[in-house]
Amino acid sequence: MVKVEEYHGFVQCQYCHQPISHNIKTDGEFKVVYVKCRCSRS
Ligand SMILES: [Zn+2]
């Protein structure tokens, strides 16, 4: 489990407008967590 210390928003897919990545801070480090948007599912 990833503990999120700060949330810095997300990036939207320009096609389906679903989130494709979340910008978070965890354990003192900035990380980008990529998620699958609607049109990248196969
Ligand atoms: Zn998409």
Q: Comparing C-alpha atoms, which of 4, 2, 11 is closest to residue 25?
A: 4
Question: Could you tell me the distance, in angstroms and rounded to a whole number, from the CA of residue 36 to the centre of ligand 1?
Answer: 8
> What is the mean predicted confidence (pLDDT) over 8-33?
95
Q: Is the pLDDT of residue 30 over 70?
A: yes
Q: Do the beta carbons of residue 14 and residue 21 sit within 8 Å? A: no
Residue 21 makes CB contacts below 8 A (sequence gap 6+) with 10, 11, 32, 33, 34, 35
Beta-strand pair 6-12/19-26? antiparallel
Instruction: Identify the residue with better confidence: 38 or 3.
Output: 38
Question: Could you tell me the distance, in angstroms and rounded to a whole number, from the CA of residue 42 to the centre of ligand 1?
Answer: 11
Question: Could you tell me the distance, in angstroms and rounded to a whole number, from the CA of residue 27 to the centre of ligand 1?
Answer: 29
Ligand 1 is an ion; its neighbours by CB within 5 Å are 13, 15-16, 37, 39
Domain boundaries, the chain: 6-40
β-partners of residue 26 are: 29
Question: Looking at 1-42, which runs of residues are DSSP E strands?
Answer: 6-12, 19-26, 29-34
